[in-house]
Structures are given as C-alpha cells and as structure tokens.
Amino acid sequence: MMSFVSYLVNGISLGSIYALIALGYTMVYGIAKMLNFAHGDIIMVGGFTVFTAMSTAWCPVWLSVVIGIVVCTVLGVVIEKVAYKPLRSAPPLAVLITAIGVSYLLQNLALLIFGSAAQNFTSIVAGMPPFLTVLDGQAPLFFATAPSGSKAILTISMETFLSIVVSLVIMIALTLFINKTKAGKAMLAVAEDKGAAQLMGINVNGTISLTFAIGSALAAAASVLMCSSYPQISPYTGSMPGIKAFVAAVFGGIGSIPGAMIGGVLLGVIEQLSKAYISSQLSDAIVFLVLIIVLVVRPTGILGKKINEKV
Amino acid sequence: MRKATKNNLVTCGITLGFFVIFGILSMTGVLGSQLSGLLIPIGIYIILAISLNLTVGVLGELSLGHAGFMCVGAYVGGIFSIITQDTINPSWLRMILALVIGGLAAAIFGLLIGIPVLRLRGDYLAIVTLGFGEIVKAIANNIYIAMDKNGLHFSFAASITDIDAATKTDVTAGPLGMKAPQDTNLILVVVVLMICLVALMTFIDSRTGRACMAIRDNYIAAQSVGINVTKYRLIAFVVSAAIAGVAGVLYSHSITSLVSKKFDYNLSILILVFVVLGGLGSLRGSVIATIILYALPEIFRELGDYRMLIYAIVLILMMIFNNAPSFIMLRERIGASAPVQKIKSIFVRKKNTAGGAE
C-alpha cells in the first residue's frame, strides 16, 4: 500500500514536470500552429545554465535559477525572431523542419561546450531533509530526518514535494494570467484568429513573442525541477522529456491549457506505475500504447475541441 | 513521349548514373574506402526517403514513425536469415526471401497500425506514428531468440536460460541485438532501389496515386466526388511501410551488429528532413537530397565536432531561404533586375530572335 502511494506521488511529481513542459508546447501550438521541436532542447539549455552558474560561478541557488530562467526566456524569443518568424506564412512542414534544425543546433552547441558525457547536477535542495517520512507504527515526520536505524516505510523527498508545489503554483498563476490580464486575453484572441485579433488592435507579433517567452521560462523551471529529481545532465537530457511532454500535450488535447496539465500528470503517473508494476524497460512503450488507445477513442485528445471542417 | 514518363526516366537515369559512376570510382580505388562505404547506406536511405515521400508528399500525412517500419523489416528479415543460414544455401536466394518476408511483415504492421490510426489526421496522426515507432523499438529491445539442437527458444524481457549451451546460436539478444549474415552488396541495393523507384513512380501515376493526391489537396472535395478516402489512405500507408521494411532488411544485412537503439525517432526525423528538403511529392528531389545530405557530414568529417553544428545551421538557412515569403520575393526581384536579365539573355536566347527574319 505504502509503496503504491510512493509510486503515485513520484508519478504526480514527474507528471507535473511534464505538464510544465507540455504547457510550452501547447501554448506555442495554439498560437503559432507549429510543433516546436526545439522545446525539449530549451530544457537542456536551462539545465546547463543553472548547472554552470551553480558549479562554476558559485552563485547562490536562487540566483542560478533566475539566471537559468532569464537565459531560456531570451533564447526562446531569439529563436522565434530569427528562425520561426520569417516562416510564419510558410507551409507547416517547413517550420517543423526548421524547428528540428534549431534542435540539432542547440544539441550540438551543448555537445561542443560540455562534451557528451553526463554531468552530475547538484539538487537545488541538496542537504535538506525529506518532506515526509513515515516510520512503521509512528506518527509521520514532516521536514525532518528519520532517526538513524529506524526503518521508513514511505519517504517523499524534498525534490518530489518541490516539483509538485512549484508546478501547481506556476499552473495557477498561468491560468490567472491568461484569463484575467489583457496580455493573456490577447494570447487567447491570437490563438483563435490571428487576422481578427490584428484588426482589433492586438499586437500579434508581440503576443507571439510573449508566448515563446512564457513557454521557455516554464521549460527552464521544469529543467531545474527535473535535474534536481534526476540529478544528471547531458546534451541529450531534453530530448526524451520533450517528446514525452509533446505526447502529454496531444494526450490532453493540443492547444488546450488545462488539457496539457491533465495530460502531463496522467502521463507521469502511467509511466511510474508501469515502471513499478509491469516492466521498467517497457514503460515508454506502455506510455505510447496508452496514448494511441486514447487517441483512437478520442481523436482530439481528452480536452481537445473537435473542429468541423467546412468546404 | 508523355511529360511524366520523360520526367520519371530522368529520375531513374540520375539515380542509376550516380551509383554506376561512384560504384566504378570506388572499385578502381579513386574513391577512398570511407566514401565507398557510404554508397550502400545512401542507397538504403534513398529507399527510405522515397517511401516516406509517398506518405508525406503524395498522401499529405506527416509520419514520424518511419523508422518503426524499417525496424520491423530489419528484425524480421534478420531473424529469418539467421535461422535459415544453414538450410537455405545459395545466399542470394535466402536474401531475396528475407527481403520479401521483411517487406510483408512491415506491410502487416502498417495495416495493423493503419486501420485504427488513419481515423486521425494532421498532428494527431504524426504523434501516433511517433508513438508506434517508439513501441516497436522498445519491443525489439526486449526480444530474446536463440537456437539450439532442440529448436528455437523465445523469451521476452529476460534472457534465455533453458538452452543447450553447446549447440546454442543467438538469433537476437535483447539490447545486444543480432548479427545477420552480410548478404547486402551494392548491386543488390541498387537493383532493389531501382525496383522500388519504378514501383513508386507507377503507383503515383496510377489511379490509386491520383486518388491519394486528390485526398492530399482537398480531403472533403475528394470525399464528395466519391473517392473512398480510408481505402486509398490505407493503401498508400501500407505500400510505404512495406518499402521501408525492405530497406530495413537491406540495412540489417549490411551492418555487422544490429541494435534496436538505432531505430529511434531521430532516424525517422532524419528521413523526414531528406524528404522535405528534396521537395514534397518529388521522388527526384528525395533522391538528390538524400545523397547530398547523407554525404555532407561525412565529407566534412575533418571539421570534427563542428560538422553537425554546420549541418544544423545549413538546414535552418535552407528552410528559411526556400520558404520565407520575404526571401522568395527577394529572389524574384533579383531574378527580374536588369543585370541578371542581361546575363540570362547571353545564355538563353529567345526563340523569336534565334530564328529571326534577318
């Protein structure tokens, strides 16, 4: 029972990281109608920036995280301006291949700078006691190290707790931002109809840049959480979580923001549970199998809108 | 001669010409051994690119799981060859059978995945094909088959234990992969490539191919003139899968050690890059783009770590230059400007002036 709870909590934690990444995919898709394949590599850049800031420059943790988020945000906006903006009216496949090119570029830059070997990432909450420890037959301990020699039947690490809390806060903030502020409503309007939004006086280019900035900042936050929970980083760190988050976005219905959150968390839980109870080698295959089944039953994802085509 | 036929003949000529010239160059030793070694993979990748072009260019559906079909072909063909290594003896016969079986297996997978999945369209179809590719890769990574005097032993996700060690031959060993007999040679690759090329040209020119293009250009209009959309989409999807399977068989028989890791989504994307840069729907474009893009990183090998960086930059610049409206306008303006027209007029004589009354 306790092990199930532990797998479930780990799954939710991993899933909330996926959800943060998936939000970037889904927002960019909603507004620019493009699959941003380089999104996964922005995670990697964020991870390496924080890694370098913490290990080389001896920055305090909070400053490293801020630097990571700023670098990713700027990078996301620059990529949009340089590579995607000239292609805004080009066929979608051309934009997709450009995004793949950007992804190759970021990966190979990281490969040149940091080498292909994985580096050890120091968790941003290293040294802190676990969030929750349940000892057999005793009251649960919060934020305390279990006395040595005692046997814990459930431990939830600080990283896991942090991932869930931070993701939750970010998601609530993002939902409020999109629904309550002028800039957020402009994003919704541009996603709905670019031409009409422009006629209403919305700065379409600015809104698209803002979307890329937010998506990349979320990716940076996700990278810090991910590298803290799975403390390694290499130039290829971003690609598999990127793909998984892409799957999560489609799973929830691409273009839908609550869909990305639900999709991400579900995907994380499915992955952890299948790793624990079915097979660790096949967990990826199971995730994708569930995705295929969901999409065959509901062809536009869980919360996706069905758009009727007109002739 | 029909224009389409002429066009197809030119494409066949380019492809065959490339392999004949470079084959001779490599036999006479003019081409270094490193570049000679590229000819077989280039042939295999051309087969993959033209088969993916059927799905992406002719049918208009994005597929990100082409490596999955290649993986099915590679594994089924390879397993068949290893098992029958002692029983079917002329190796060319065994290879032909392996090609047929591998292609059929990939076609069956294409049909199995195609029936439920072709209900989807656009990006949803793309992500499902990506998922399919990852599933195939994960399964291939967990299959263990070995042979001893009692016959075949099969195991999933765990290595085989109950086996007679003295007569044991590994067929495939999970993540360690398999070692299929080296039956692929350049002539075989070129022959198979030409067969696939001609078959695809005939397919695209046929009633079925035209139906596929009608679906690509306008789904609803195609439906409304009575084209059975599901049927034609499925046919194109299965043919594309079968050809990718054949390429997979050639691949597994051309390398010393086959591992499933190779067939990840990066491979699918690499093939997609060949297809898109060559031009959607253009077989000739796929052939030329594959040759150039596959050889490019190898030619720049002395640049070491920078070559993939340059490749990425070239890729982005090519896409922007070819597709951005501002660049297309710029190109047209340069093309129409007076100095360029003057240069052009030197090379291209206008018909009415050439046969003038003077």
Domain span at B164: 41-271
DSSP label of A82: I
Q: How many domains does chain B have?
A: 1
DSSP SS3 for A105: helix
Question: Looking at beta carbons, which residues of chain B come within 8 Å of A300?
Answer: 124
User: B270 CA to chain A: closest CA distance, Å?
Assistant: 9
CA–CA distance, A166 with A57 (Å, rounded to integer):
25
CA–CA distance, B68 with B247 (Å, rounded to integer):
12
Biggest CA pair distance of chain A: 72
A250-273 pLDDT tens trace? 888 888 888 899 999 999 999 999
User: B126 CA to chain A: closest CA distance, Å?
Assistant: 10
Question: Looking at beta carbons, which residues of chain B come within 8 Å of A98?
Answer: 315-316, 319-320
User: B134 CA to chain A: closest CA distance, Å?
Assistant: 6
B151 or B103, which is more confident? B103
Task: For chain B, give the secondary structure using H, E and C.
Answer: CCHHHHHHHHHHHHHHHHHHHHHHHHHCCCCCHHHHCCHHHHHHHHHHHHHHHHHHHHCCCCCCCHHHHHHHHHHHHHHHHHHCCCCCCCHHHHHHHHHHHHHHHHHHHHHHHHHHHCCCCHHHHHHHHHHHHHHHHHHHCCEEEEEECCEEEEEECCCCCCCCHHHCEEEEEHHHCECCCCCCCHHHHHHHHHHHHHHHHHHHHCHHHHHHHHHHHCHHHHHHCCCCHHHHHHHHHHHHHHHHHHHHHHHHCCCCCECHHHHCHHHHHHHHHHHHHHCCCCHHHHHHHHHHHHHHHHHHHHHCCHHHHHHHHHHHHHHHHHHCHHHHHHHHHHHHCHHHHHHHHHHCCCHHHHCCCC
The pLDDT of residue B319: 84
Domain membership of residue B29 (yes or no) is: no
Contact A109 B117 (CB under 8 A): no
CA–CA distance, B67 with B133 (Å, rounded to integer):
6
Asked whether the predicted pLDDT for residue B128 surpasses 90, the reply is no
- Do A219 and A24 touch, CB atoms closer than 8 A? yes
Contact A291 B128 (CB under 8 A): yes
Closest residue of A to B132, CA-based? A288
A105-116 pLDDT tens trace? 999 999 999 988
The pLDDT of residue B357: 42
Contacts (Cβ under 8 Å, ≥6 apart) of B148: B163, B164, B165, B166, B167, B168, B169
The pLDDT of residue A60: 85
pLDDT-derived band at A306 (thresholds 50, 70, 90) equals low
Return the closest-CA partner of residue A126 out of A168, A170, A164, A157.
Answer: A157
User: A293 CA to chain B: closest CA distance, Å?
Assistant: 9
Element (H, E) at A5: helix A2-32
Domain membership of residue B6 (yes or no) is: no
CA–CA distance, A37 with A25 (Å, rounded to integer):
9
Return the closest-CA partner of residue B321 out of A212, A36, A34, A101.
Answer: A101
Return the closest-CA partner of residue A232 out of A117, A72, A106.
Answer: A117
CA–CA distance, A101 with A241 (Å, rounded to integer):
18
Sequence letter at residue B261: K
Asked whether the predicted pLDDT for residue B339 surpasses 80, the reply is no
Structure-block tokens of residue A151: 């046997």
* Residues, chain A: 311
Domain membership of residue B54 (yes or no) is: yes
pLDDT-derived band at B314 (thresholds 50, 70, 90) equals confident
Closest residue of B to A248, CA-based? B127
DSSP label of A87: G
Biggest CA pair distance of chain B: 94
Listed range (A48-52, A218-222, B82-86) with the worst mean pLDDT: B82-86
pLDDT-derived band at B349 (thresholds 50, 70, 90) equals low
Contact A86 B326 (CB under 8 A): yes
Question: Looking at beta carbons, which residues of chain B come within 8 Å of A279?
Answer: 142, 157
A24-71 pLDDT tens trace? 988 988 888 888 889 999 999 999 999 999 888 778 888 999 999 999
CA–CA distance, B137 with B132 (Å, rounded to integer):
9
The domains of chain A, with CATH numbers, are 2-125+158-297 (1.10.3470)
**What mean pLDDT do residues B309-337 have?**
82
Structure-block tokens of residue A233: 């980083």
Task: Work out whether strand A232-233 and strand A119-120 pair parallel, antiparallel, or are unpaired.
Answer: antiparallel
The pLDDT of residue B147: 84
pLDDT-derived band at B17 (thresholds 50, 70, 90) equals very high
In whole angstroms, how far apart are CA B191 and each of A242, B14, B40?
Answer: 40, 14, 12
Q: Which residue has the tokens 């120091």?
A: A122
Structure-block tokens of residue A207: 């809104």
In whole angstroms, how far apart are CA A304 and each of A254, A259, B156, B170, B210?
Answer: 6, 7, 37, 47, 33
Question: Looking at beta carbons, which residues of chain A come within 8 Å of B305?
Answer: 108, 111-112
Closest residue of A to B57, CA-based? A93
pTM of the model: 0.84
pLDDT-derived band at A14 (thresholds 50, 70, 90) equals very high
Q: Which of residues 192-211 of A touch B (CB under 8 A)?
A: none
Contact B269 A292 (CB under 8 A): no
A252 or B245, which is more confident? B245
The pLDDT of residue B354: 44
Question: Looking at beta carbons, which residues of chain A come within 8 Å of B321?
Answer: none
**What mean pLDDT do residues B158-182 have?**
80
- Do A288 and B135 touch, CB atoms closer than 8 A? yes
pLDDT-derived band at B358 (thresholds 50, 70, 90) equals very low
Asked whether the predicted pLDDT for residue B352 surpasses 60, the reply is no
